[in-house]
Structure 1
Amino acid sequence: MRRALAGRKVFTFDQGIKYFFLFNASIAIVAVMAIIAFLLEQGLPFFREESAASLLGRRWVPYLDTGALYGIIPLAAATAWAVVLSMLAALPMGVCAALYISEIAGPKERTFLKNFIEILASFPSVVLGFFALAVIAPLVKRIFDLPSGMTLLTASIVLSVMALPTVISVSEDAIRNVPMSYRRASLALGASRLATLWRVVLPAAKSGVIAALMLGTGRVVGETMAVLMVTGGSPVIPASPLSAGRPMTATIASEMGEVVYGSTHYSALFLIGSILLFITLGINLVIIRMTAGRE
């Protein structure tokens, strides 16, 4: 009888531990679903007053009493410029740095570099925004002879710096996980060390590099403060990286504090947030499928 009760207690305890871990594992799923539901609840009422075509307009002028315009094309274009330019700089720089740290640097140098990368990752975005405003913007203005250095190029430079720690860390982990036998086989066949790195090690770590791209892009897409400080805040379609602009995150941050609760403008800002969220989720799903297929 006592053995049966003891076995029942152990079973109950084990089941309780199992459900406790299941609860903790499910928090992320519940949180994501709740956020999506909240954003859609606040954003979808926009379509009661405006059409989907108005959302795809080329002008964002939401403060007019009559005839307000809620076209997000200028905001989306500025976001695209900033993301693409920053990742074009951060990805090759980050992968090269990861190759050096993983394959070339000595133990002490590797530790030194990784510590500084972690320090860079811990910098508040507002501090990097101040640096871009005080140093990078005047430099861009002087080099390109512009009336103002607050451009999408300036934002892209600071965003690439912010994405570097993520790209370097994830890529370096992927490169270090490539089996040593790959390197030895390549060197045994007569390949140089540089050829081994570029033609054997890096292709073998491509899944991790793709993950680095995904995480870096997510970091850049969601950045707000630094972007808000240096893009110029002009809600027009940028003609080039040297133009001012206002990305989607900067628009939400600059206008949410002044908008009337429940208004069409209020719903439009939440709809922009929903679009950003689905863009990020879409990027993650695409990269996960690509990574799974290649593995």
Structure 2
Amino acid sequence: MSQSGGKQKVKQHVIEEWTGKILTSFCIVLLVVIIFSMVYFVATKGLSAFFQNGIKISEIFGTTWKPDGEPPLFGALPFIIGSFSTSLLAAVIAAPLGVSAALFMVEIMPNIGRKYLQPVIELLAGIPSVVYGFVGLSVIVPFYRTIFPGQGLGIAAGATVLSIMILPTITSIATDALASLPAGLKEGSYALGATRWQTLSRTVIPTTMPALMTGIVLGMARAFGEALAVQMVIGNAPHIPKSLFESTSTLTSVITLSMGNTVMGSMQNNVLWTLALILMLMTFVFVFIVRRLERRAQR
């Protein structure tokens, strides 16, 4: 009885192991198929503007967007500049705040930081984009309108809203990087007579810099693909702004505003898919940068 029971248990374990392997393999294959299907779908739609409609690449990087004109013009350079400007400025604003918050929670006041500051930052990650956009439209835009010339709509308002949205991403990754730092590294610095600030600025931050940069790049990728919140505060004007307080637009804004008003397969619809392809390629660039930073951190 004991031998037959033991064989039955071994057989059951083997079945469970093979079942787990099959399910895991199926999920991995399904994930790969979905990713490649999305890339193939967006790429075929995005390239249709060049092969079916005869649009040149130089026209996409023009400065005039008049899809209803004669002839129609699809210069998307203002949208590309708007996306990069808001993302870079948001990263410039959020990176010091996120890294400083992580240093406060891990190195300076860990008890108070993790008890009060960390829940507040995590709460920011769960707020919907439309709420950020509404707050930006009700608070940030009137504030900029009062202080600076213009209507308050523009890159500055969009970047301010995005900086708050990407702050949890940068802070959480920076916190994990600082928490995983070996304690002996800091103790050795203190043993050599370094102050807390010298230890943080010359030992902790340089050591964790690749991981900190990973958080910043991921935050930029999050900001680059944001649509609704930026759309509500940036003004959605199809021209290159001359200042941070002029209305402009982004790739995500023009796609969300125009895609529902176009006919599938038309020239304007294909151009919008081309802009979506540019967004996807930029996402791949951000992922490549993150992978390079991770490899540098492992060395």
TM-score range, shorter chain: over 0.9
Q: Distance in 2 between matches of 1:10 and 1:284?
A: 39
1:59-79 CA distances to partner (integer Å, 9 max, x unpaired)? Answer: 111123x31111111110111
Q: Which residue of 1 aligns with 2:97?
A: 93
CA drift at 1:141: 1.2
Q: Which residue of 1 aligns with 2:145?
A: 141
CA drift at 1:12: 4.6
Query: Within 5 A, what are the aligned runs for 1:156-171?
Result: 156-171=159-174
Aligned residues: 293
Q: Which residue of 1 aligns with 2:281?
A: 278
Alignment check: 8 A CA contact 2:130 2:228 kept: yes
RMSD over aligned Cα atoms: 1.9
Alignment check: 8 A CA contact 2:155 2:244 kept: yes
2:269 to 262, 266, 269: 266
Which segment is superposed worse, 279-288 or 182-191? 279-288
Counterpart residue type for residue 118 of structure 2: K
Tell me, which stretches of 5 or more residues in structure 2 are unaligned? none
CA drift at 1:5: 8.8
Q: Distance in 2 between matches of 1:30 and 1:58?
A: 37
Query: Within 5 A, what are the aligned runs for 1:1-295?
Result: 10-47=13-50, 48-49=52-53, 50-64=55-69, 66-146=70-150, 148-295=151-298
Q: Distance in 2 between matches of 1:141 and 1:26?
A: 52
Alignment check: 8 A CA contact 1:81 1:241 kept: no
Aligned in 2, Cα 1:252/1:245: closer, same or farther, shift over 3 Å? same
Counterpart residue type for residue 192 of structure 1: T
| Percentage of matched positions with identical amino acids | 31
CA drift at 1:6: 7.8
Tell me, which stretches of 5 or more residues in structure 1 are unaligned? none
CA drift at 1:52: 1.9
Which segment is superposed worse, 231-240 or 285-294? 285-294
Aligned in 2, Cα 1:8/1:220: closer, same or farther, shift over 3 Å? same
CA drift at 1:10: 4.9
CA drift at 1:96: 0.8
Alignment check: 8 A CA contact 1:187 1:193 kept: yes
CA drift at 1:294: 3.9
Aligned in 2, Cα 1:110/1:227: closer, same or farther, shift over 3 Å? same
1:145-197 CA distances to partner (integer Å, 9 max, x unpaired)? Answer: 22x11111100001001010110011011001000001100000000011111
Question: What SS class does the counterpart of residue 261 from structure 2 fall into?
Answer: coil
Alignment check: 8 A CA contact 1:99 1:175 kept: yes
CA drift at 1:117: 0.7
Q: Distance in 1 between matches of 2:59 and 2:287?
A: 28
Aligned in 2, Cα 1:91/1:26: closer, same or farther, shift over 3 Å? farther
CA drift at 1:4: 8.3
Q: Distance in 2 between matches of 1:68 and 1:116?
A: 48
